[in-house]
């Protein structure tokens, strides 16, 4: 009787970490930390570089689940903060929230996790927070990836009248959404913010858990949209980013999103603009073919930036 050779079993995917909290002034920020599996050479996880994944507005850290698992399996430590007013992070009690706060929150999580510098990856709101961190705390970055970043200020004064008109229309709509959220008018706030992005009837297209999460996070629109509106993207800001940088955008993105990504990539030194092959859906923002392509892109980019 011949003994059958068996190939080694594939390593189990890394287990999600527990929720931790980073103190910042009078409130706390929630974040998840995931360590990579033990290396074959027995080296400690403490030697692994860290990737911070920042979620979009009205979303949460779960949108990065596939990237979290892939990056941890590739030997990286992964941190997934929850923006203020999202998940287990403290809510926004008022509208006093500025662009500098976006960066301060990222740094607070890095400090709490004992990380000197990390690869920052942000989607939407997370992209704006990552960019603000790169401008204000460049020494805390190893690389920067912006996925359809919510930085329409890059279009202020744009020579393309169509892009400038789209920028101004979005600003008016977002200001209306912030004002409605501040007054507690949840449905109006969500309609003003999401109709231009997802199209009318978006409620019917969302799964019930996703719709519930969107409604729970609606109050954060007041302060967050004000902060994004005040985030300037000047030539001196983009020139100050000293690390390898990548901007990713779906081919089917609305003109405002696509224009923002293209203009930003053109201004950032040595930046590449990468096209994602399919749409990012509201139901699963970083899922589907675009999400698969994005995960592969992130693993390759971080590996290249680390030089290994």
Query: How would you label 86-117 residue by residue, b for 16+ Cβ within 10 Å and e otherwise?
Result: bbebbebeeeebebebbbbbbbbbbebbebeb
pLDDT of residue 44: 54
Of 126, 181, 155, 171, the C-alpha closest to 255 is: 155
Average pLDDT over residues 158-184: 94
From the list 102, 131, 154, the residue with the least C-alpha distance to 245 is 131
Q: How much is the average pLDDT of 190-201?
A: 92
Hey, what domains does the chain have and what are their CATH numbers?
Answer: 19-156+227-306 (3.40.50.1820)
Query: Per-residue pLDDT tens for 3-29?
Result: 333 344 444 444 557 889 998 888 889
d(CA 61, CA 52): 11
Per-residue model confidence (pLDDT) at position 40:
67
Per-residue confidence (pLDDT) for residue 5, from 0 to 100: 39
pTM, two decimals, is 0.90
Res. 234: pLDDT tops 80: yes
Q: Whose CA is closest to 178, among 228, 219, 222?
A: 222
Report strand pairing: 118-123 vs 141-147: parallel
Question: Token pair of 257, please?
Answer: 């999103």
CA angle 192, 172, 216 (to 5 degrees): 35
Cβ atoms of residues 118 and 141 within 8 Å: yes
Confidence of residue 243 (pLDDT cuts 50, 70, 90): very high
Confidence of residue 39 (pLDDT cuts 50, 70, 90): low
**Tokens representing residue 118 in the block:** 């990390």
Residue 26 is predicted with a pLDDT of: 81
Per-residue pLDDT, averaged over 29-53, amounts to 79
């Amino acid at each position: 009787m011949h003994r059958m050779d068996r190939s080694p079993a594939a390593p189990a995917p890394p287990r999600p970490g527990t929720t931790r909290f980073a103190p910042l002034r009078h409130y706390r920020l929630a974040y998840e930390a995931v360590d990579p599996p033990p290396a074959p050479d027995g080296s400690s996880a403490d030697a692994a570089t860290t990737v911070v994944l920042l979620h979009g507005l009205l979303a949460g850290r779960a949108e990065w689940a596939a990237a979290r698992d892939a990056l941890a399996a590739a030997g990286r430590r992964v941190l997934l903060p929850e923006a203020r007013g999202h998940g287990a992070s403290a809510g926004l009690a008022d509208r006093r929230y500025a662009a500098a706060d976006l960066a301060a929150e990222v740094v607070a999580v890095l400090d709490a996790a004992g990380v000197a510098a990390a690869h920052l990856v942000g989607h939407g709101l997370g992209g704006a927070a990552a960019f603000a961190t790169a401008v204000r705390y460049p020494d805390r970055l190893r690389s920067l990836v912006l996925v359809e970043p919510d930085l329409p200020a890059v279009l202020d004064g744009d020579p393309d009248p169509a892009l400038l008109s789209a920028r101004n229309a979005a600003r008016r709509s977002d200001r209306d959404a912030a004002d409605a959220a501040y007054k507690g008018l949840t449905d109006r706030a969500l309609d003003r913010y999401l109709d231009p992005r997802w199209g009318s009837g978006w409620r019917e297209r969302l799964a019930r858990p996703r719709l519930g999460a969107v409604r729970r996070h609606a109050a954060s629109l007041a302060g967050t949209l004000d902060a994004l509106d005040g985030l300037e993207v000047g030539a001196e800001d983009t020139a100050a980013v000293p690390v390898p940088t990548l901007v990713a955008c779906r081919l089917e993105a609305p003109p405002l999103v696509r224009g923002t990504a293209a203009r930003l990539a053109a201004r950032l030194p040595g930046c590449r603009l990468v096209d994602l092959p399919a749409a990012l859906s509201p139901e699963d923002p970083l899922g589907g073919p675009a999400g698969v392509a994005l995960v592969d892109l992130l693993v390759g980019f971080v590996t290249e930036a680390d030089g290994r």
